[in-house]
Amino acid sequence: MEVTDEWIRETCLELPGTEAFLKEEWGSLLYRIGGKYFAMRGTDNEGRQILTLKCDPRLAEEYRERYAQIVPGYYSNKSHWNSVLLEQGGLEPEFLRGMIRHSYELVRGGLTKKLRDELPPLPETS
């Protein structure tokens, strides 16, 4: 299975309460939960195709050390966000799916209790 824009879209939108939002001034597609984005599909200042995801800071650093395709988050807090250089390939789709879900869970967990209670439950991972 190849990681394409359609795959990214389907993977993000299968998470409960997710909406896609085009941020025209960034030329990026944002995936949001409760009005806060957890994934950004766009380009960096060098024109590289990226997917930016929130990440626990300890994991973020570990991923950057382990994978050349993962760099500090472009246009984001470098401690809490990573960007995946999509053109480099090499990451397994299931690994990337896990990164997307991790980002979603972090952002969802940071929403107000009222907002979290209004969201559909998060399905278990298989």
Q: What is the pLDDT of residues 11-40, one digit of tens each?
A: 999 999 999 999 998 889 999 999 999 999
pTM metric for this prediction = 0.93
pLDDT digits (tens, 9 = 90+) for 32-58: 999 999 999 999 888 999 999 999 999
Angle between helices 93-109 and 5-13 (to 10 degrees): 40
Are the CB atoms for 38 and 17 separated by under 8 Å?
no
- Residue 100: count other Cβ atoms within 10 Å of its Cβ: 23
Which residue matches tokens 């944002």?
Answer: 30
The distance of Cα 117 from the centroid of its chain, to the nearest Å, equals 22
Which residue matches tokens 């298989």?
Answer: 126
